[in-house]
Structure 1
Amino acid sequence: MEMDRSWMYCSRSNIVFKGVKNFLNFAFNNGSSSGMILCPCRHCGNGICRTRDDVEAHLLWRGFKPGYYHWTTHGETSFKNDIGSHSLIANDVNDDMEGLLNDAFRFESNTTDE
């Protein structure tokens, strides 16, 4: 399956929201057991089974665990790594977490940078 997965590590982008939805559709169609999958977020690291809603929340808040481009844990059997040709990959998925949360939940922080 050839698919651009650079969105997995981009921050503050509608493409991330769409990509997470696409990942969830794939994972729950191909790697689900009893309506749950292993959560690939940075915290769970494919070690804890969770519901679709929980996995979605974890991925949007925490991001994917580093380097999880080949979704073998979620039913993928073949993979072509075309990620090297994309320059959208962020080095740090948390580089603008506050902005992502502001966009998602429409609130503004009262903190100031000093």
Structure 2
Amino acid sequence: MSRRWIQNPNRCADEYLDGIEDFIEFARRQNPGATRIRCPCRRCNNTLFETIENVGFHLVRNGMIETYSIWNLHGEQVDHASSSNALRVDNVEPIVDPNDQVMSIIQDAFPFASTNINQEGEDDVPTPIDSAEFEQYEKLLKNANQELYPGCESFSVLTAIVEQMHGKIKYRMSNLCFDYFLGVFKRMLPTDNCLPKDHKHAQKVLHGL
């Protein structure tokens, strides 16, 4: 089975989310009865143990170690030739601000947003940009910079939605359950908050990632 999804920078893509589900199911089969397993996310780096549910959440939020394509630390058998690559441990990534992380996801999804510099240090000739794609980029950027409510410094609109969607995946919440709690959170916030009212509207904000 191909595990190219591990290198997919878009952690909201169906391919990536399906890959996480495959890994979680594999870990459950290989570690029956285990309450905690090594977490192969880029922060825990297979050195910390988490519940299987938290591992799934970490993989969505932080991404999987890109070199961990053979899951030997979770029960997969490897031959001698490939074991050296499988046992490689990368440096643990530093903890980053969620808002910065969301901006990185946007840049990964829209490469044209970053200025390309060639080997001579000069700007490359910009490639044509689809107008609809650029419009989607501008909407995401606006929500990434907009406070969840006036004076909120911890969450932008986009960061809040990404965090809640990760929770939906982690706890396998139905859309109906997600809508209920999203509505509760919205009523708890100041009346001028920008939190979407339901799952359908949250997905519209995330469209393009």
| TM-score band, normalised by shorter chain | 0.5 to 0.7
- The reply on whether 1:4 has 2:6 as its aligned counterpart is no
| Equivalences for residues 1-114 of structure 1 within 5 A | 3-10=1-8, 11=10, 12-31=12-31, 34-78=34-78, 94=105, 95-96=108-109, 101=162, 104=165, 106=202, 108=205
Measured after TM superposition, the shift of residue 57 of structure 1 is 0.6
**Cα distance change, pair 26–15 in 1 and its aligned pair in 2 (3 A):** same
Larger radius of gyration: 2
Distance 2:65 2:18 in 1: 18
Identity %: 27
Q: Which runs of 5+ in 1 are unaligned?
A: 82-92, 110-114
TM-score by length of 2: 0.38
Unaligned runs of 5+ in 2: 83-103, 110-143, 145-157, 167-201
- Between the aligned partners of 1:63 and 1:17, the Cα distance in structure 2 is 11
Which of structure 1's runs of 4+ aligned residues deviate more than 2 A?
A: 31-34, 93-96, 98-102, 104-109
Hey, which of these two has a bigger chunk of helix by percent? Answer: 2
**In structure 2, how many angstroms separate the alpha carbons of the residues matched to 1:73 and 1:20?**
16
Q: Deviations over 1:10-48 (max 9, x none)?
A: 113111111101101101211466321100000000011
Asked whether the equivalents of residues 28 and 36 of structure 1 are also in contact (C-alpha less than 8 Å), the reply is no
| Structure possessing the higher relative contact order (Cα contacts under 8 Å, 6 or more residues apart) | 1
Backbone CA RMSD of aligned residues:
3.1
Distance 2:34 2:50 in 1: 10
CA distance in 2, matches of 1:29, 1:15: 21
Give the alignment's TM-score, normalised by structure 1.
0.67
SS in 2 for 1:37: strand
| Matching residue of 1:85 | none
CA distance in 2 between partners of 1:39 and 1:67 (Å):
14
